A and B are shown apart, each in its own frame.
Chain A
Amino acid sequence: MTATLDRPTAAATGSVVGAWRAVWLRVEGRWTWYRRHWTASLLASGLQPVLFLAAMGIGFGSQVRPGPLTDGVPYLAYVAPTILVSGLITVGVTEAGLPVLSGFKWKQDYWAVASSPVSSGQLFGAELVWIALRLTFGAAVYLVVAAVAGGWTSAGALLVPPIAILAGVACAAPVMAFAATTKGDGHVFAAVNRFVVMPMTLFAGTFFPVERLPLPVRPLAWISPLWHGNELVRGAALGGLRWWPALGHLAVLVALLVVGIALGRRAFQRRLVV
C-alpha cells in the first residue's frame, strides 16, 4: 500500500458538464435505447394519431355531411388538425406516466443517473426533451399522412404540428411531476386516463364542437389544455384565427408548461435527493 500512497492515483477522468449538455447527453442515452427498441414503440412514436385519423377522419367521416357543425368543411379537414393535438397529448401523458414511475421504481435507471454528475433537474429536463422529440417525430409523420389523405386545406396546416407538440409537452410536464411523487404500482395512471385524458379527448372539441355540451359542463372543456390546443390548430388550419384569442390560448399552454417544469424539477429533486 505504501507504493500507492507515494504515488496517488491519477486524477479521475470525469467532469461536470454544462446544464444543457447534460440534458443532451441523457437524451443521447435515450436514443441509444430507442435505436434498439424502436419497433416496440411505434404507437407512442406517432402511429396512434395516424390510426385515429384513418378511423375517425376517413372511416367515420365518410358518413358525415359537411355542415354548420363542421364549420362547413368536410369532416376529414375538420378533425385532421385536432386529432393530432389530442393524439400527441395522449402519447405525451402516457410517456410521462408509467415510464417515469418505472425509472424510479422498477427500471431504476434514474438512480444510476443520480450517481453521475448529471443533476436531478437536468434529468427531468432531458426526459421532457425526449418526449418532445418523439412527439415531433410523430407530428412530422402525421403531417405527411394527413396531406396525402387530403386533410389539409391551407398552408396554415404547417402551424398545426408545433402547436400540437407544445400542447403535448405542456400536458406531459405536470404528469411527470405527478409520476415522480407516486409511490404505488401505477394503477393511478389508469385513473388519470379514465377521468382526465379520455373525457378530454371525447369532449374538448376534437371530434365535435364544444357547443354540443350542455352549458353547465362547458367550462370543464374550456379549462382543458386540449380545447385550447384545438382552438388554435383549427383556427390555423381552417383560417379565421384572431390575434387576441390566439394569444390567450397560447398563454394557457405556455403557462401549463412552465408550471409543469417547475413542479417536475422539484418533484425529481425530492424523489432522488433524500
Chain B
Amino acid sequence: MRSDEAIISGTGLVKRFADFEAVRGIDFQVRRGEAFGFLGPNGAGKSSTMRMVSCMSPRSGGELRVLGMDPDRKGPAIRARIGVVPQQDNLDLELTVRQNLQVYGRYFGLTRKEVRAKAVELMEFARLTDRADHDVQPLSGGMKRRLTIARALVNDPEVLLLDEPTTGLDPQARHLLWEKLFQLKQRGVTLIITTHYMDEAEQLCDRLVVMDGGKIVAEGSPAELITRYATREVLELRFPPGDQHAAVDKVRDLAERVEVLPDRLLLYTEDGDAATTRAHDRGVRPISTLVRRSSLEDVFLRLTGRTLVD
C-alpha cells in the first residue's frame, strides 16, 4: 500500500516522555473504511500512539499524517474531522444525556439546530432515548460508554479512535457495543481500536498490529497472524501447578511447538484430537484436556513469550 492511499500513516513514529520512551519508532498505515487495531498488553504504547493520532499529544520523532495533514500544525482541523473515545469516560456527569451531546457538538462549529437534530439521532443510535433528559451520573457503565461513543460521532467523523472501548464492561454490554461499532464500520467510518482483549480484536478488526514494549512486533489480519504465528489447533493439557514440567519431554515431539504455562502445557498442532490420543497412549495424565482453535492470544504468546492479560 502506498502511504498516500492511507487515511492515517505513521513512519518511525516516536513518543518520548521525560524518563522513558513509550513508542519506539513504529510504522503503520490505516486505509479508509477499515477497522484497524492496536493489540498489546498494558504499557505497550497503544494509548500514546492513539493520543498522537488524535492530535492531543505532539510526536517526539518520526512522521505522522492524519487525513493527509500534519497533526503538529493542523491539530484543530484534524480534530474537526475525527472522533475520539478516550480510555476513561469524561462525560459531564452533571448534565443530561442530551446536553452532553449538544454542548460537545457546538465545539465542532455545528449550529444549535444541527446539534439538536444530531443529539436525537445519536441517542437513538446509543439506545439512550428514554434517558434523554436524565443526568448522566446514575447511568450504568455500559450506558456511559455508549454515550461517550455517541458524543464522538457528533461531527460525523471520518475516523473514530477508540481507546480500550470495552474495558470494564460486563459481557452483555460489550456485545451491544461491538454491534454498534460494527454498524459504524458498515457505514464506512474508519475505526481505530486499541485493546488488550483478543476476542475484541478478532471480532472487530480487519487488520491489526501487535505492539509490545513500544514497538510493532507483527502486522496482518487476525487470520493471517494466526496462520503465520500459530497452528490451526491447540491442545491444552492442564496439570496441578508444578506437575506440568514432568510431562514436557513426553509430549515435545507431538507438536510443532510446546509452551509451558504455570498450570498447563499448550501443544501447537494441526490435529489436536490426534495429539490427545497419542499423549494418552504415552501415559500423560492431565487433570483436563481441551482442544481449541488458535487465537490471537497464541500469536501474542509466540511473539512475546508472555500472555496478554496476566
* Direct contact between A and B judged by beta carbons closer than 8 A: yes
Chain A residues engaging chain B, CB cutoff 8 angstroms: 1, 4-5, 7-17, 21-22, 25-26, 28-29, 32-33, 36-37, 107-109, 111-119, 272-274
Given contacts A4-B188, A36-B94, A113-B107, contact A16 B99 (CB under 8 A): no
A272 to B96: give the CA distance in the assembly, Å: 25
Q: Which of B190-234 contact A (CB under 8 A)?
A: 190, 206
The 10 closest A-B pairs by CB, nearest first: A14-B155, A14-B108, A4-B188, A14-B80, A116-B107, A12-B81, A115-B84, A108-B90, A9-B188, A29-B103
A99 CB → nearest B CB, Å: 12
Asked if A12 and B54 sit within 8 Å, CB to CB, the answer is: no
A and B contact pairs by CB, cutoff 8 A, 7 listed: A4-B33, A7-B188, A14-B156, A15-B80, A112-B86, A116-B108, A273-B58
Asked if A111 and B156 sit within 8 Å, CB to CB, the answer is: no
Asked if B109 and A14 sit within 8 Å, CB to CB, the answer is: yes
Asked if B92 and A115 sit within 8 Å, CB to CB, the answer is: no
A61 to B218: give the CA distance in the assembly, Å: 78
Asked if A1 and B82 sit within 8 Å, CB to CB, the answer is: no
Q: Which of B54, B92, B99 lies in contact with A107, CB distance below 8 A?
A: B92
A11 to B84: give the CA distance in the assembly, Å: 16
Given contacts A1-B33, A4-B188, contact A14 B157 (CB under 8 A): yes
Query: 1/0 per residue B56-93: CB within 8 Å of A?
Result: 11100000000000000001110111101010101111
A118 CB → nearest B CB, Å: 5
B179 close to chain A: CB less than 8 A: no
Task: Look across to chain A and name the residue whose beta carbon is closest to the beta carbon of B110.
Answer: A13
Residues on A with C-beta less than 8 A from B110 are 13-14
Asked if B188 and A108 sit within 8 Å, CB to CB, the answer is: no
Asked if A9 and B107 sit within 8 Å, CB to CB, the answer is: no
Asked if A272 and B104 sit within 8 Å, CB to CB, the answer is: no
A23 to B17: give the CA distance in the assembly, Å: 30
Q: Which of B32, B86, B106 lies in contact with A111, CB distance below 8 A?
A: B86
Task: Look across to chain A and name the residue whose beta carbon is closest to the beta carbon of B79.
Answer: A117
Q: Which of B75, B82, B102, B103 lies in contact with A12, CB distance below 8 A?
A: B82
Residues on B with C-beta less than 8 A from A17 are 109
Asked if A5 and B76 sit within 8 Å, CB to CB, the answer is: no
Identify 19 new A-B residue pairs, CB closer than 8 A, beyond the known A13-B156, A117-B108: A1-B33, A8-B32, A9-B158, A12-B156, A12-B158, A13-B114, A14-B81, A14-B109, A25-B106, A28-B103, A32-B95, A36-B96, A36-B99, A107-B90, A109-B90, A115-B152, A116-B104, A116-B107, A274-B17
Chain B residues engaging chain A, CB cutoff 8 angstroms: 17, 31-34, 54, 56-58, 75-77, 79-82, 84, 86, 88, 90-96, 99, 102-104, 106-110, 114, 151-152, 154-158, 185-190, 206
A118 to B187: give the CA distance in the assembly, Å: 27
Total number of residue pairs linking A and B with CB closer than 8 Å: 124
Asked if A118 and B94 sit within 8 Å, CB to CB, the answer is: no
Residues on A with C-beta less than 8 A from B99 are 32, 36
From A14, A29, A116, name the one whose CB has the most chain B CB atoms within 10 angstroms: A14
Asked if B107 and A117 sit within 8 Å, CB to CB, the answer is: yes
Asked if A13 and B108 sit within 8 Å, CB to CB, the answer is: yes
A4 to B188: give the CA distance in the assembly, Å: 5
Task: Look across to chain A and name the residue whose beta carbon is closest to the beta carbon of B80.
Answer: A14
B214 CB → nearest A CB, Å: 17
Residues on A with C-beta less than 8 A from B188 are 4, 7-9
A108 to B187: give the CA distance in the assembly, Å: 31
A36 to B102: give the CA distance in the assembly, Å: 14
Residues on B with C-beta less than 8 A from A5 are 31-33
A274 to B48: give the CA distance in the assembly, Å: 10
Residues on A with C-beta less than 8 A from B96 are 36
A33 to B106: give the CA distance in the assembly, Å: 14
Residues on A with C-beta less than 8 A from B79 are 14, 115-117
Task: Look across to chain A and name the residue whose beta carbon is closest to the beta carbon of B35.
Answer: A1
Task: Look across to chain B and name the residue whose beta carbon is closest to the beta carbon of A25.
Answer: B106
Residues on A with C-beta less than 8 A from B102 are 32
A256 CB → nearest B CB, Å: 30
Asked if A26 and B156 sit within 8 Å, CB to CB, the answer is: no
Asked if B158 and A29 sit within 8 Å, CB to CB, the answer is: no
A184 CB → nearest B CB, Å: 19
B21 CB → nearest A CB, Å: 15
B48 CB → nearest A CB, Å: 10
Residues on A with C-beta less than 8 A from B103 are 28-29, 32
